[in-house]
């Protein structure tokens, strides 16, 4: 395979050469850039680490210098004493575990963040209230004490629940420690020994072989066909050769360094340890990741905003009524108690649990769709995503080379590149194809792994490199019997790929019994193959390779190359029987056979094809207003081709270069605004100032960043975040972890991803598939909508809980509802219905609207607050009071009698209080009536909350459009409301502390008309919102 | 609710019930009617003026005393300092004012020992003469015994509409201290059944509930009396309720100082 790899190598080398120049030029800029970085949120360590990256020069110096530097000998290794000294100095060769917040801190964080702090404040106020009341009168009711205790229990339980949810998802992610190899073969005191890898020190001489993990950063001293998989570092899974040659200025690019935690795939190598533990490249990147500050999640910001609203309402109403109470000549102590009560009635105790549960339900649903969420809040973050910076390899593409096009008989044929191809449908009748197929099958060293007879071809494991695998599978699809064909055409000689020849050649006996000639087959870089040919096969006939044939070749080669595909040329030659009889002994050293004047047969181009679901997903993103940016380490041409094929660059948009080419003018003259798309290479990006990058991100809707380095990914993310975008970043390598951390939502790949990336990410894509992100976004958007509904539902009854207090203060009536009953609404009847709202289906296609604007589309806007508080909330309070007055009236206290009755009503020594009918009541009899009032009010609120949960199913559509029965959980919720209320009223009515009494059956229905009014009113609201979009009504009544 | 609607429109078909274009009725009510409903007007319509719909929460009467001490149930009297008990005397006088003969002109003499049940719309009230309370009536001693250190306390059972005590109810008081004796008026704290049943504030305008007076006589040297009074002799008048300490009973303290 190797020829074409060399082809790519060439390009790479070119690229890196440029970079080298850049490096030098950029060094001056570097200091400037660093200053700018520090101005931003990046910490000092960040810069230091970046700098250290540049400092490494062990790959440049000679082995002699290395020996001196580390006080070692390449033959003898370190002495044990020296090794012990260095070990004492540098410490063990292990990575400091990922600086995770200690569990206990995490737990406490859960318990003080957001609502919890409000609840703590509430609990403390309760205790204060109790102490104040107790100091006044030690026979005071324990309500406030209970309430305080219950609030604390609520905080702790919800905190534990949220912690448990998070811990559960975090634990799935394997830790860093897994990456550390256990043993290392080292030369010390002149002899080989196996020691634990953590005892390695700089200067140690280690030997590695295929299958080993490299135990530290090593400078290669000697290598026999050593290839490493650097995917844990770079994310690119293409094996890379390691040799003792210094090939690149950049330590990450040079071939003579092997990195800690990468895997040696084949061959053997000896190296000298140059860095251990946290000083290794991977160690530095890991610590860089932990030093990058993470932004607050959007939902955390929204909830904070919401807490502010609730707290604002609570405190302002509290203070207003405190003043009113003082003016009404209540004692200051009483006024303080009222203030506390008002603030408490405003705290939505159950909301924390409801929000946590609905987020984790969504997280569960997303996990089923292959999005594993580590941080619950990330569920919603995904929904507000406005830019996705996606990797190419493995995420947008299938991460395997596949035959994409064929060129023979002067014609380009298209091959099927889908994931589950069964047959190739292009025209296979030509004799040229037969010859080409022969070469493809025979000139190939890849083999199927053993024991896979029943596995479909596409899923079989193949031993061999990516291109050869692609060709083997390709032939496997055309014929079932590749192996048989190879057996029937035994190989007699072979020259594997090498960088000098840039071709691969083999000589076979043929399976044609009448033809005793040997067949020489060859494949390689197209121009090298063409050089060796003098004829070309057209329709099975050999024809001289004239100018027109060359031109046709050139056109085809350019066209396929322009598609970003890796192109291979194929040729063959039947060796004349007289010169090469079957006894002829081929010698590959002396090349005693012709390698020129061959017959050119065709071209095959390979590509890592896009996943078949990706183009649809990209279209979905586009209609959802999400910008998809491709960030890849690949060559710009390949990147652009894939971007086009998946729709990241849409069919009709052009880059500046495209326009220049079309208009035949220099690139500089093109108006950059005209180009919708842009392909930017890492080199160009390096020269950009942050302002230029901002401009680029603003002006182009379709952007591809190619040949970027890990640090640049971070810069791109920061650039996007400066546009006020919520950025999702995918990544798999260790080098991606800083960007993953910095992104609003970091998405690591489940298969290809390194543990470091998974650690830094907020979410793990179990199938590595870009389209799973899109389903995730859909869920995230849905949960945002549903959370609005949950909050609207929850806030409504706050007013119904608050009004009793206000009327109690102003009109001096007996208290309509007690704090315990309020708690039973907040934490009892309302919990399941509010969670059930999380199951509500979307009202319209949520993927057809723009992502929400961070600052404009709030979770809780004033429309939501006003509609819930002042409209439905007030209606509910009226219903509650109606029930309250009814229950008092039927027992003898008519509403007018209740006014300003409070001082007598609550007087413990007043045991003959007269009602409206002249009857006299003892204190306890009144108390019991008061509890009946609580129960009636409680039931009335519960009944109206049933209507509330039904109306909250939709925000704009009619309930009938949404379907009353589609979300069956709503009915579970409603049933739970009724059952809890019945249990409280009937079963637990006898427990004094709960202050519930058994209510006559007819008083359960007092609030039903109000519930119906609430429902009709909301239908009317929705009707007008639908009918008059953009009207005053729409602007003020749609939340 | 639906029962109500059906009653209102028994012969209408369902469609007409939901909206009747002739009468502009929605769900069997006009807009006005719904408005009234919403405003709680219906409450007034269904409630009787004379008796409340339910009385289950006051099945048995409470017992209370006059004067009502300021806090806790402790009456403190300092004979040498008139201001210490003046307000008790005033309270008693104020309470007993409506029992004066001049206020009871419309009340009739009833037959003792049997319930005075009436069918007519406006009910008559039985006379309760202050004389029954004898020395505690205030007729002869306007200080109700406070001046000489043996104060009177009036006990009364709470009014409950329609309550008919079974047996022979009386209010019995006991004092813990041996050197204090209690005298009740009328004799043995008897409560006459003729004052029952009560027909409510509106129908039974001049109704006066029967009273029992208690005179607390301190023997020289004694200063404190812990008294407990209970309604006895009537099975349907409870006096043992665990939670309600004033249901058919009351405990209070009288302290005397010289």
Give yes or no: residues B77 and B142 share one domain: yes
The pLDDT value given to residue A69: 85
Beta strands in A889-1004 (DSSP E): 913-914, 920-921
Of A909, A912, A916, the CB nearest to B73: A909
* B58/A886 CB distance under 8 A: no
To the nearest whole angstrom, how far is the Cα of A1017 from the nearest Cα of chain B?
Answer: 14
Give yes or no: residues B41 and B100 share one domain: no
Residue B206 placed within a domain:
yes
**Section B91-102 average pLDDT:** 92
Given a contact cutoff of 8 angstroms between Cβ atoms, the answer to whether A812 and A902 are in contact is yes
**Section A20-30 average pLDDT:** 40
Count structural domains, chain B. Answer: 2
pLDDT band at A99 (very low <50, low <70, confident <90, very high): low
Contact residues, chain B, for A897 at CB < 8 Å = none
Q: How many CB atoms lie within 10 A of CB B72?
A: 9
Average pLDDT of chain A is: 83
Chain A residue closest to B197 (CA)? Answer: A919
Residue B3 placed within a domain:
no
Spatial distance between the Cα atoms of B69 and B79, rounded to a whole number of angstroms: 17
Residue B53 placed within a domain:
no
Residue B170 placed within a domain:
yes
The pLDDT value given to residue A184: 84
- Asked whether residue A745 carries a pLDDT value surpassing 60, the answer given is yes
Given a contact cutoff of 8 angstroms between Cβ atoms, the answer to whether A508 and A453 are in contact is no
Q: Which of A2, A53, A229, A391 is catalytic?
A: A391
Residue B1 placed within a domain:
no
How many CA atoms does the CB half-sphere of A779 hold within 13 Å? Answer: 28
A343/A428: higher pLDDT: A428
Give yes or no: residues B104 and B157 share one domain: yes
User: Does the beta carbon of A139 lie under 8 angstroms from any beta carbon of chain B?
Assistant: no
- Asked whether residue A874 carries a pLDDT value surpassing 60, the answer given is yes
The pLDDT value given to residue B33: 59
* B161/A917 CB distance under 8 A: yes
User: Does the beta carbon of A990 lie under 8 angstroms from any beta carbon of chain B?
Assistant: no
* B156/A912 CB distance under 8 A: yes
Spatial distance between the Cα atoms of A931 and A923, rounded to a whole number of angstroms: 12
The rounded percent of chain A whose pLDDT value lies above 70 is 89
For the sheet with B224-232, list strands across it: B74-78, B249-257, B224-232, B170-175
**Section A92-117 average pLDDT:** 73
SS3 A326: helix
Residue B55 placed within a domain:
no
User: Does the beta carbon of A925 lie under 8 angstroms from any beta carbon of chain B?
Assistant: yes
Cis before B67 (ω within 30):
yes
Spatial distance between the Cα atoms of A20 and A252, rounded to a whole number of angstroms: 12
Burial class (CB in 10 A: 0-12, 13-18, 19+), A26: middle
pLDDT in tens, A643-668: 998 999 998 888 888 888 888 888 88
Q: Which of A807, A806, A817 is nearest to A321 (CA)?
A: A806
Chain A residues 830-889 with a CB less than 8 Å from chain B: 878, 882, 885-886, 889
Stretch (H or E) spanning A628: strand A627-631
User: Does the beta carbon of A1015 lie under 8 angstroms from any beta carbon of chain B?
Assistant: no
Spatial distance between the Cα atoms of A752 and A757, rounded to a whole number of angstroms: 10
The pLDDT value given to residue A291: 66
Give yes or no: residues B144 and B97 share one domain: yes
To the nearest whole angstrom, how far is the Cα of A930 from the nearest Cα of chain B?
Answer: 11
- Asked whether residue A83 carries a pLDDT value surpassing 50, the answer given is yes
The pLDDT value given to residue A173: 42
* Domain membership of residue B35 as a residue range: 11-46
- Asked whether residue A425 carries a pLDDT value surpassing 50, the answer given is yes
Give yes or no: residues B107 and B196 share one domain: yes
Residue B56 placed within a domain:
no
* A911/B63 CB distance under 8 A: yes
pLDDT band at B197 (very low <50, low <70, confident <90, very high): very high
* A1009/B207 CB distance under 8 A: no
Give yes or no: residues B177 and B97 share one domain: yes
Give yes or no: residues B96 and B174 share one domain: yes
Q: Is A29 a catalytic residue?
A: no
A855/B156: higher pLDDT: B156
* B202/A929 CB distance under 8 A: no
Of B68, B69, B246, the CB nearest to A923: B246
Give yes or no: residues B113 and B213 share one domain: yes
pLDDT in tens, B8-36: 444 445 555 556 666 666 555 566 655 55
The pLDDT value given to residue A686: 86
Spatial distance between the Cα atoms of A273 and A208, rounded to a whole number of angstroms: 12
Burial class (CB in 10 A: 0-12, 13-18, 19+), A44: exposed
Spatial distance between the Cα atoms of B199 and B118, rounded to a whole number of angstroms: 9
Of A909, A925, A1009, the CB nearest to B71: A909
* A917/B158 CB distance under 8 A: no
Model confidence, pTM: 0.78
Give yes or no: residues B221 and B100 share one domain: yes
Give yes or no: residues B41 and B109 share one domain: no
Interface mutation target, options A903, A925, A944, chain B, most CBs of B under 10 Å: A925
Q: How many CB atoms lie within 10 A of CB A693?
A: 18
pLDDT in tens, A323-356: 988 888 888 777 777 777 787 788 887 787 788 8
pLDDT band at A38 (very low <50, low <70, confident <90, very high): very low
User: Does the beta carbon of B53 lie under 8 angstroms from any beta carbon of chain A?
Assistant: yes
Interface mutation target, options B5, B44, B51, B64, chain A, most CBs of A under 10 Å: B64
Partners of A184 in beta bridges = A195
The pLDDT value given to residue A393: 80
Residue B51 placed within a domain:
no
* B245/A924 CB distance under 8 A: yes
Q: How many CB atoms lie within 10 A of CB A191?
A: 9
Give yes or no: residues B239 and B155 share one domain: yes
Given a contact cutoff of 8 angstroms between Cβ atoms, the answer to whether A5 and A11 are in contact is no
Give yes or no: residues B174 and B89 share one domain: yes
Partners of A728 in beta bridges = A388, A745
Q: How many CB atoms lie within 10 A of CB B48?
A: 10
**What's B75's domain CATH number?**
2.60.40.1660
**Section A47-59 average pLDDT:** 56
């Amino acid at each position: 395979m190797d020829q074409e790899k060399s082809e790519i190598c060439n390009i790479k080398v070119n690229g890196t050469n440029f970079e080298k120049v850049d490096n030098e030029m950029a060094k001056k800029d570097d200091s400037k850039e660093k200053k700018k970085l520090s101005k931003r949120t990046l910490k000092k360590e960040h810069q230091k680490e970046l700098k250290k990256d540049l400092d490494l020069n062990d790959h440049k110096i000679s082995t002699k210098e290395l020996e001196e530097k580390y006080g070692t000998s390449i033959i003898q290794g370190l002495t044990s004493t020296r090794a012990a000294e260095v070990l004492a100095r540098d410490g063990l060769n292990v990575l400091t575990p990922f600086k995770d917040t200690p569990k206990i801190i995490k737990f406490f964080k859960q318990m003080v963040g957001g609502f919890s702090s409000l609840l703590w404040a509430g609990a403390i106020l309760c205790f204060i209230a109790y102490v104040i009341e107790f100091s006044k009168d030690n026979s005071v009711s324990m309500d406030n004490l209970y309430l305080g205790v219950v609030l604390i229990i609520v905080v702790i339980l919800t905190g534990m629940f949220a912690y448990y949810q998070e811990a559960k998802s975090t634990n799935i992610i394997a830790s860093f420690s897994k990456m550390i190899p256990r043993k290392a073969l080292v030369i010390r005191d002149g002899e080989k020994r196996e020691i634990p890898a953590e005892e390695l020190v700089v200067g140690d001489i280690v030997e590695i072989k295929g299958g080993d993990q490299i135990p530290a950063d090593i400078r290669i001293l000697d290598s026999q066909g050593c290839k490493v998989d650097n995917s844990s570092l770079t994310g690119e899974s293409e094996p890379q050769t390691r040799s003792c040659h210094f090939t690149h200025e950049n330590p990450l690019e040079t071939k003579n360094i092997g990195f800690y935690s990468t895997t040696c795939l084949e061959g053997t190598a000896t190296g000298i340890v140059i860095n251990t533990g946290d000083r290794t490249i991977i160690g530095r990147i890991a610590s860089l990741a932990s030093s990058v500050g993470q932004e607050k999640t959007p939902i955390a910001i929204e909830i904070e905003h919401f807490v502010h609203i609730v707290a604002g309402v609570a405190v302002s109403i509290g203070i207003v009524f405190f003043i009113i109470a003082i003016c009404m000549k209540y004692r200051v102590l009483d006024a303080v108690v009222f203030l506390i009560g008002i603030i408490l009635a405003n705290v939505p105790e159950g909301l924390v649990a409801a929000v946590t549960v609905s987020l984790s339900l969504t997280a569960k649903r997303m996990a089923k769709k292959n999005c594993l969420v580590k941080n619950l809040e990330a569920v919603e973050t995904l929904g507000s995503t406005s830019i996705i910076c996606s990797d190419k390899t493995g995420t947008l593409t299938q991460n395997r080379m596949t035959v994409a096009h064929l060129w023979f008989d002067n014609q380009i044929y298209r091959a099927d590149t889908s994931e589950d191809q069964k047959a190739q449908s292009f025209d296979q009748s030509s004799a040229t194809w037969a010859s080409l197929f022969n070469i493809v099958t025979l000139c190939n060293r890849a083999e199927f792994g053993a024991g896979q007879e029943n596995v479909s071809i596409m899923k079989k494991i193949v031993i061999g490199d990516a291109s050869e695998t692609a060709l083997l599978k390709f032939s496997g699809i055309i014929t079932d019997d590749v192996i048989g064909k190879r057996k029937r055409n035994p190989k007699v000689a072979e020259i594997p790929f090498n960088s000098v020849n840039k071709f691969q050649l083999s000589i076979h006996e043929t399976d044609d019994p009448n033809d005793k000639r040997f067949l020489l087959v060859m494949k390689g870089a197209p121009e090298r193959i063409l050089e060796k040919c003098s004829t070309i096969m057209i329709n099975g006939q050999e024809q001289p390779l004239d100018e027109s044939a060359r031109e046709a070749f050139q056109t085809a080669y350019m066209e396929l190359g322009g598609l970003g595909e890796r192109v291979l040329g194929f040729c063959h030659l039947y060796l004349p029987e007289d010169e090469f009889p079957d006894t002829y002994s081929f010698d590959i050293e002396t090349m005693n056979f012709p390698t020129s004047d061959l017959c050119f047969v065709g071209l095959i181009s390979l590509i890592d094809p896009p996943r078949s679901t990706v183009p649809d997903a990209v279209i979905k993103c586009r209609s959802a207003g999400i910008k998809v940016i491709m960030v890849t380490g690949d060559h710009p041409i390949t990147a652009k081709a894939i971007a086009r094929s998946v729709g990241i660059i849409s069919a009709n948009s052009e880059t500046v270069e495209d326009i220049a080419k079309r208009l035949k003018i220099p690139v500089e003259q093109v108006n950059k605004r005209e180009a919708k798309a842009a392909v930017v290479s890492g080199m160009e990006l390096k020269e950009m100032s942050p302002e230029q990058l901002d401009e680029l991100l603003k002006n182009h809707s379709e952007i591809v960043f190619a040949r970027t380095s890990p640090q640049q990914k971070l810069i791109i993310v920061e650039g996007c975040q400066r546009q006020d975008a919520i950025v999702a970043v995918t990544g798999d390598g260790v080098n991606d972890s800083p960007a993953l951390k910095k992104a609003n939502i970091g998405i690591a790949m489940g298969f290809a991803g390194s543990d470091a990336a998974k650690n830094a990410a907020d979410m793990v894509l179990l199938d590595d598939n870009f389209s799973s992100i899109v389903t995730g976004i859909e869920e995230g958007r849905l949960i945002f909508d549903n959370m609005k509904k949950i909050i609207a539902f929850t806030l409504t009854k706050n007013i119904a809980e608050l009004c009793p207090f206000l009327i109690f203060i102003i009109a001096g009536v007996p208290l309509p509802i007690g704090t315990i009953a309020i708690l039973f609404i907040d934490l009892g009847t309302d919990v399941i219905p509010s969670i059930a709202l999380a199951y509500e289906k979307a009202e319209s296609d949520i993927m057809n609207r723009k992502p929400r604007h961070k600052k404009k589309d709030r979770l809780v806007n004033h429309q939501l607050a006003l509609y819930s508080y002042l409209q439905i909330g007030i209606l509910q309070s009226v219903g509650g009071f109606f029930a309250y007055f009814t229950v008092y009236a039927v027992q003898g206290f008519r509403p007018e009698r209740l006014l300003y009755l409070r001082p007598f009503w609550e007087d413990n020594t007043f045991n003959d209080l007269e009602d409206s009918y002249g009857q006299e009541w003892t204190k306890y009899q009144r108390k019991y009536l008061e509890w009946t009032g609580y129960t009636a009010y409680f039931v009335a609120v519960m009944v109206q909350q049933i209507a509330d949960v039904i109306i909250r199913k939709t925000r704009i559509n009619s309930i009938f459009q949404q379907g009353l029965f589609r979300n069956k959980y709503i009915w579970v919720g409603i049933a739970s409301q009724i059952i809890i209320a019945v249990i409280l009223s009937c079963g637990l009515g006898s427990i004094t502390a709960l202050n519930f009494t058994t209510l006559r059956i007819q008083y359960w229905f007092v609030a039903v008309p109000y519930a119906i009014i609430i429902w009709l009113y909301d239908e009317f609201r929705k009707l007008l919102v639908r009918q008059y979009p953009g009207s005053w009504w729409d602007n003020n009544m749609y939340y | 609710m639906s029962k109500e609607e059906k009653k209102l429109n028994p012969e209408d078909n369902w469609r007409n019930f939901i909206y009747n274009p002739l009468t502009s009725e929605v769900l069997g009510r006009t807009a006005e009617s719904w408005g009234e409903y919403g405003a709680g007007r219906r409450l007034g319509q269904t409630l009787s003026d004379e008796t409340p719909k339910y009385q289950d929460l006051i099945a048995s009467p409470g017992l209370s005393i006059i004067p009502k001490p300021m806090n806790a149930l402790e009456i403190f009297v300092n004979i040498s300092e008139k201001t210490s008990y003046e307000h008790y005397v005033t309270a008693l006088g104020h309470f007993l004012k409506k029992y004066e003969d001049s206020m009871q002109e419309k009340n009739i003499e009833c037959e003792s020992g049997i319930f005075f049940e009436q069918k007519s719309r406006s009910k008559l009230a039985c006379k309760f003469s202050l004389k029954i309370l004898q020395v505690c009536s205030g007729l002869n001693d306007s200080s109700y015994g406070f001046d000489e250190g043996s104060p009177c306390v009036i006990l009364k059972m709470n009014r409950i509409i329609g309550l008919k005590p079974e047996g022979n109810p009386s209010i019995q008081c006991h004092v813990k201290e041996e050197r204090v004796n209690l005298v009740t008026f009328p004799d043995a704290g008897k409560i006459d059944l003729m004052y029952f049943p009560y027909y409510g504030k509106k129908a039974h305008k001049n109704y006066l509930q029967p009273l029992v007076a208690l005179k607390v006589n301190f023997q020289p040297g004694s200063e404190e009396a812990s008294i407990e009074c209970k309604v006895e002799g009537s099975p349907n008048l409870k006096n043992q309720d665990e939670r309600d300490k004033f249901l058919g009973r009351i405990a209070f303290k009288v302290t005397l100082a010289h």
